[in-house]
Amino acid sequence: MRRTVLLLISAALSVVLLSGGSGTTFREAQAITAKPNFVFILADDMRKDDLTYMPKTRSLLEDKGITFSNAYVSNPLCCPSRATIMRGQYAHNTGVWDNVNGTDGGWQGYRSNNGNNENDNIATRLHKAGYRTALIGKYLNEYANTTYKPPGWDKWFATFTFDYFNYDVNDNGTIKHFGTTDSAYLTDVLRKQTQSFIDPSGAVAKSKPFFAYVTPIAPHNPANAAPRDLHTYDGEKVTRLDSFNEADVSEKPPWIKSLPILTRAQIADIDKRHERIGWRPCKLSMTWWRGSPTSSSPAGSCLTLT
């Protein structure tokens, strides 16, 4: 199987392949084929310090790959960032400035940019270059309740809402419903869909390189755990940084100054949410999200990429 390059939050595909960063020797870089496989995993609303709960991610990806110690974003909203991932452009070129549907936001804004965005992007270009392509998970904000499938995608398994149970998806142009059983847990479903698409034993997988854009909603609110993980992090509390409920905010912007001090009840709610998202929201790749060290499911049941 072609060497698989596993990406987290980076669209700099060529940099990952060609850079001589930590953990990647020049000889290893030379061994990468002309058309490597790509698995691009995009988490939703995940904080940097969430990696504390992800030792396998750090061991399998950070220690053996490249880490970008600094990151800058021109428009730190969901839909503008996703549009940039697809197009490699700033918001003033993609036409997507916010998350709400309109001429300059959401999926509608993305589509209304003279048709450029959906007709010319990373998926269409890789598809033309001979790649099998797949989007598995969230596409863009406000993409919902439609059988529409954008060009350039061989596999299209797109979610519509932030529901972890009882939700619909667009499965290659057909609406399919998943209920409330344990097996319907969204991130598990996405994992299985990804495994099926990659399937290194399949004839197609061996004959063509692939690009898998895997975009679960975890750990975005409501951050529902799989039943097996409900009590994995009971009692976990939010890290109390110096800025947490800071009393003296005299040097802060006006909108910060106008905020009241958090009450005990509000702090308890914050801790409860942190506890709720402290469980492993996904085991898409080598049990690569939170809670993997306490998982009862072995890494072998997840994606094994070589």
Dump pLDDT digits (tens) for 214-270. Answer: 999 998 989 888 999 888 888 888 889 898 999 999 999 999 999 999 999 999 998
Q: Is residue 259 part of a domain?
A: yes
Q: Does one domain contain both 155 and 189?
A: yes
User: Which segment of 18-22, 49-53, 146-150, 225-229 scores lowest on mean pLDDT?
Assistant: 18-22
List pLDDT tens digits, range 61-108.
Answer: 888 888 888 888 899 899 999 999 999 999 999 999 999 999 999 999
Q: Are residues 129 and 187 in the same domain?
A: yes
Tens of pLDDT, residues 18-41: 233 344 433 444 444 578 999 999
What's the whole-model pTM score? Answer: 0.78
**Is 290 inside a domain boundary?**
yes
Instruction: Verify that 185 and 132 share a domain, yes or no.
Output: yes
- 267 φ/ψ angles, rounded to the nearest 5 degrees: -65, -40
Asked, for residue 156, whether it belongs to a domain, the answer is yes
**Could you tell me if residue 294 is inside a domain?**
yes
Q: Does some domain include residue 90?
A: no
Q: What is the pLDDT of residue 284?
A: 39
- The boundaries of the domain holding residue 263 are 235-277
CA 286 to chain CA mean position, Å: 15
Same domain assignment for residues 261 and 289? no
Residues 157 and 269 occupy one common structural domain = no
Q: Is residue 130 part of a domain?
A: yes
pLDDT for 172-208, tens place per residue?
999 999 999 999 999 999 999 999 999 877 666 678 9
Q: Mean of the per-residue pLDDT values for the chain?
A: 80
Domain identity same for 206 and 295? yes
Query: Which residue among the candidates 78, 79, 282, 302 is catalytic per the annotation?
Result: 78
The domain tally of the chain equals 2
Q: Are residues 290 and 216 in the same domain?
A: yes
- Is 78 known to be catalytic? yes
Average pLDDT over residues 159-165: 97
Q: For residues 271 and 238, what is the distance between their CA atoms, to the nearest angstrom?
A: 5
Sheet holding 37-41, edge to edge: 4-7, 37-41, 210-215, 132-138, 155-159, 167-171, 174-178
Domain for residue 88, yes or no?
no
Looking at the fold, whether 181 and 61 belong to one and the same domain comes out as yes
Within this chain, do residues 127 and 259 fall inside the same structural domain, yes or no?
no
What are the strands, taking DSSP E only, across the chain? Answer: 4-7, 37-41, 132-138, 155-159, 167-171, 174-178, 210-215
Task: Write the pLDDT tens digit of every residue in 108-134.
Answer: 999 998 778 999 999 999 999 999 999
Instruction: Give the per-residue pLDDT at 47.
Output: 81
Share of the chain above pLDDT 90, in %: 54
Same domain flag for 40 and 26? yes
* Same domain, yes or no: 213 and 252: no
Is residue 111 domain-resident? Answer: no
Residues 206 and 146 reside in one and the same domain: yes
Are the C-beta atoms of residues 305 and 36 closer than 8 Å to each other? no
